[in-house]
Amino acid sequence: MDVVEKNRAAEKLEAVVIRFAGDSGDGMQLTGTQFSDTSAMFGNDIATFPNYPAEIRAPQGSLYGVSGYQVHIGSVEISTPGDEVDLLVAMNPAGLKTNLHAVKPGHTIIVDTDAFTKKNLEKAQYDSNPLEDGILANYRVIEVEMTSLTKAALKDIEGLDNKSITRTKNMFALGMVYWMYNRSTDHTIKFFQNKFKNRPEIIEANTKVLNTGFYFAETLELIPNAYTVSPAKMNPGTYRIIMGNRATAWGFLAAAEKSGLELFLGSYPITPASDILHELSKHGHFGVKTFQAEDEIAGISSAIGAAFAGDLAITTTSGPGLALKGEALGLATMIELPLVVVNVQRGGPSTGLPTKTEQSDLLQALYGRNGESPVIVIAASTPANCFNYAYEAAKLTLEHMTPVVLLTDGYIANGSAPWKILSVDDMPEIKNNIYESNGDTWHPYDRNEDTLARRWPVPGTPGMEHRVGGLEKDRVTGNVSYVPENHEYMTKVRAEKIKRVQNYIPDLKTEFAETGDLLVVGWGGTYGSLHSAVKYMHEEGYSNVGYAHFNYINPLPKNTEDVLKRYKKIVVCELNNGQFAKVLKINFNDFEFTQFNKIQGLPFGNGELMEKFKQLIK
Amino acid sequence: METTAEKKYTYKDFESDQEVRWCPGCDDYVILRSMQKALPEMGVNKEDVVFISGIGCSSRFPYYMDTFGMHGIHGRAPAIATGVKLAKNDLSVWVITGDGDSMAIGGNHFIHVLRRNIDLNIVLFNNEIYGLTKGQFSPTSLVGQKTKSSPYGNTQPPFSPGELALGAHARFFARIGGNTPKEMTEIFVQSEKFSGTSLIEVLQNCPIFNDGAFSEFTDRKVREDRQLFVKHGEPMIFGKERDKGLVLNGLKLEVVTIGENGVTEEDILVHDAGEADPTLHQMLVRSTYPLVTGIIRKFEDVTFEERENKQREEVKLNSKFKKTKDLFFAGDVYEVT
């Protein structure tokens, strides 16, 4: 493994606790040892905690027959095997039952679903199947038919009995975990070659299954929960652990209920956005309509159709999908309908790094369409506030009758954090522009004087028949117009409409220092790392460093310039090559913006941020 | 869709205030008027009618109808219309498209909308040419056809829209000449009454870039001899003298003459548009002598939205979540004091 690869993984994993649990015959100790050895050779500090029954072969499937192996690996000094588990691999129901308590809420559990038979559930004293009855609702459960996949992988290997085949399924699990944590399979394959020197078929079988598991995780694009926020002082209230993508989905559920509209999602599966589709698909009981379309374009187009017919319409995607949706998003801008596009950003360009995080779709969101085609762009900054910004996106699109792009990213979308639960009663009102004339003369492009939003007459309403379309519209009637002055007027109205959103969004806030030598600027999903880095700076006595985090990108908050003015230097930190810095430069060209960029598919580390900040204020 | 309009309309109620801008002599005028005449016959309220189009000459259609309408983007009308219909099931939703719009850039949406069987009506203006971009070959242009982008003759074999549609499990397929407004009007009415996706291919003459493309079938002089207009439950007889008919010879259709070689009317195939197996419908679609028009396939099936609604109702009935609050506070929550 090369040095770059080594650094990458070591930096990402400050500390992770993984536990393998299964029947004592499932080879959990071997699996755990292999993982910890590989990690140690990889340069991690490790601490392990093997926990197995006294019996060599305890009754199969029983609770006391569970064998577990916990490994705590880290890039920092590790002194304990860890208290709470980030990833549990449960090979059977008993393994799940005896270890579930240790798993951090919101974190990941991999299960072999083939082992969840009626008999095994009884042996583990489960009254109902935990995979179905909802007790795992607060975890990220990855269900894998591990035994069947192992058998399928080995169907062509001769000289193996059924038992030997089934016994290799632990290597399937190990392969998956190796992929998730960027580990090489080399060490383990060498181990097979030494241990089973005279049994080539066993070497072949184990290697094959290990690789199959590795590739299976790659195909599923499994991402470990890498997001951790150290518990700060928390306000009293009722909390739950929530993942960013679920929070996004729930924000839209809340907005639909508040606005009295039905929620429509048109979407096409794409990593790392698909979980929003999965989550909303579960909520037909709230009248949610999810439509898995034939492609990204149909996803957004169906949402435009639903918006035309009066639904709160959204579409969800990631970078390449946003590129495909560009033309349709232009249509929504032209016909001035409410529509939210959620882009869960990942590394690009092209297919890029589907499972890694990046903030490189900002300029695409702002400008990635033909013609003058402005849209509102906002960004969530933590897993929990994905709820708030999804709600806000819905509110803005409905009240301003123009599309909104909501940016999140793989890091916060798959990350989980405590969420002080908000109910619809806590949320601001949402007015919509649905319009029914009571006999008055009206035109489709009549506008609200303050917001410039047009009305929203929907099919099924007598007397409201009208046509919209992608051709330029007459400023009042909405009929096709090629009049030169009208086009210029309408172009400016569409821009002004976005600008006026400034009057309806909060001011930019600063943290830690109102004025000072350095302003740290961030946007979107980097809040956790930037906030903690500036906090540590203050703890070290650097009281002259302030922090401003943007959630509103287009339009920018009204007081942005006032904030920028109060500091001697400004550093814009982003997980891209400087896209938000460009936006700031265009808007505030009297200021000098220093950039701090990281483009490795990884979040910022506190160390690198603090080093940069210190260097800037020297 | 089966509804009863509370109001009585004439075709004038469906004319918008916009000046129609197609070229003089274009069959699009015939289609527009046939639609305006069909709508009062359908039993739908005007405010429940939505026309969604893509891009191309045909796609200007919604501007000329005094209903709800959206002139969308190239090829995507079926997807937009799907969203409209899923949002409000009780609307009468029409897709207006052309051979470039639906067979080329929108091919993917075209097959998937048919596969799902959502209750939409799709009118495909097939003129075997790109009109709005001024005369390039389209996916239905014939091999050898000389166009602006194929000056030595088209080298790409064409799609037959009907064949493609049946392959994509279309439940309703009709074909009609662009110069037969009466039959066209009736087909529009029938397609609206059909529950599921209806596809109507109109053989639409483009007098500017592909004049006479269908004249060998549609000219008044030859029409009766070259076209078989099928009707469900009736024998497949055609010809000026009503003496020609179709029989099945092995795996092929064969034209026979009634009264010759002992053939009687009894021997002629009777059209069954409702047959589940599309094999014979596919043969009718492929036939060039006679060219088959009318409603070739009309197979009643469960619609996409029926399946969706049934599922949603069941979920609603069995769910413990009535409001989002019930969901948000359910499961593993904890108190911080």
Say what the pLDDT of residue B4 is. Answer: 59
Cβ neighbors of B39 (< 8 A, separation 6 or more) are: B9, B11, B13, B14, B46, B49, B67, B188
The C-alpha R_g of chain B, in whole angstroms, comes to 22
**Mutation site, A101, A135, A294, A335, interface B, largest B CB count within 10 A:** A294
pLDDT at A80: 56
Choose from A42-56, A594-608, B54-68 the range with maximum mean pLDDT: B54-68
Selected for mutation to probe chain B from A101, A297, A302 (highest B CB count within 10 Å) is: A302
Q: List Cβ neighbours of A150 (8 Å cut-off, separation of 6 or more).
A: A165, A166, A168, A169, A172, A209, A212
| Residue among A236, A254, A297 whose CB faces B337 most closely | A236
Residue pLDDT, tens place only, B116-151: 999 999 999 999 999 999 999 999 999 999 999 999
**Average pLDDT of the residues in A130-141:** 90
Return the pLDDT at A229: 28
Residue A205 three-state SS: helix
Average per-residue pLDDT in chain A? 90
For residues A353 and A351, give the distance between their C-alpha atoms in angstroms, rounded to a whole number. 6
Domain at A239-426: CATH architecture: 3-Layer(aba) Sandwich (3.40)
pLDDT beyond 70 at B16: yes
- Closest chain B residue to the Cα of A334, Cα to Cα: B72
Strands B49-53 and A289-292 come out as unpaired
- In the block, tokens 């995507």 appear at B76
> How many CB atoms are located within 10 Å of the residue B237 CB?
18
* pLDDT (average), residues A191-213: 93
The residue of chain A with its CA nearest to that of B326 is A423
Please tell me the distance from the alpha carbon of residue B48 to that of residue B68, in angstroms, as a whole number.
8
- The kind and range of the H/E element at A532 are helix A527-539
Q: What is the predicted pLDDT for the residue at A224?
A: 64
Token pair 């518990």 is found at A231
Other C-beta atoms closer than 10 Å to the C-beta of A80 total 9
Structure tokens at B93: 């939703």
When comparing pLDDT for A83 and A317, which is higher? Answer: A317
Of B275 and A603, which is predicted with more confidence?
A: B275
pLDDT score recorded for residue A432: 92
Q: Which of A254, A307, A467 sits opposite B324 (nearest CB)?
A: A254
Architecture of the domain defined by A510-617: 3-Layer(aba) Sandwich (3.40)
Residue A63's pLDDT is what? 86
What are the two backbone dihedrals, phi and then psi, of residue A459, each rounded to the nearest 5 degrees? -55, 150
- The winner for highest mean pLDDT among A31-45, A54-68, A570-584 is A570-584
- Name the more confident of A82 and A150: A150
Second CATH level (architecture) for the domain B11-213+302-307: 3-Layer(aba) Sandwich (3.40)
For A403-425, the pLDDT digits (tens) are 999 999 998 898 767 789 999 99
**Cβ density class A341-378: b for 16+ within 10 Å, e for less:** bbbbbbbbeeebbbbbbbbbbbebbbebbeeebbbbbb
| Mean pLDDT over the full length of chain B | 96
| Whether pLDDT at A230 is above 90 | no
Residue range B320-330: average pLDDT?
95
* Closest to A379 in 3D by CA, of A416, A414, A342: A342
- Residue range A579-602: average pLDDT? 96
Written as six digits, the tokens of A482 are 């090629």
Partners of residue B87 in chain A, C-beta under 8 Å: 262, 264, 289, 305-306, 308-311, 313
Best residue of B13, B332, B335 to probe chain A, by most A CBs closer than 10 Å: B332
Strand order in the sheet with B237-238: B237-238, B244-249, B252-257
The model's pTM: 0.83
Q: Encode pLDDT of A362-412 as tens digits.
A: 999 999 999 999 999 999 999 899 999 999 999 999 999 999 999 999 988
Closest-CA residue to A315 (of A269, A351, A353): A269
Of the candidates B18, B52, B315, the beta carbon closest to that of A305 is on B52
Region of A96 on the Ramachandran plot (φ > 0 left; ψ -120 to 50 alpha; else beta)? alpha
- The average pLDDT across A29-45 equals 80
- Set of chain A residues whose Cβ sits within 8 Å of the Cβ of B315: 284-285
> Which of A284, A304, A330 is the closest to B83 by Cβ?
A304
Phi, then psi, of B65 in degrees rounded to 5:
-105, 130
Cβ-based contacts of A295 with chain B (< 8 Å):
108
Say whether A510-617 and A239-426 share the same fold: yes
- CATH hierarchy code of domain A3-220: 3.40.920.10
Task: Locate the domains of chain A by residue range.
Answer: 3-220, 239-426, 510-617
Banded pLDDT at A3 (limits 50, 70, 90):
very low
Q: Would you give the distance in Å from CA A278 to the centre of its chain?
A: 13
Please report the ipTM that was assigned to this predicted complex. Answer: 0.97
Residue type at A44 in one-letter notation = N
Which band of pLDDT confidence, cut at 50, 70 and 90, is reported for residue B335?
Answer: confident
State chain A's maximal CA–CA distance in angstroms: 91
Q: How many CA atoms lie within 13 A of A114 on its CB side?
A: 10
For residues A488 and A482, give the distance between their C-alpha atoms in angstroms, rounded to a whole number.
Answer: 11
Facing residue for A305 by CB, picked from B46, B87, B337: B87
Find the helix or strand (DSSP H, E) in which B160 lies. Answer: none
Helices (H), A238-384: 244-259, 274-281, 296-308, 319-335, 362-367
| Contact across the interface for B73 and A313, Cβ inside 8 Å | no
CA distance B91 to B70: 14
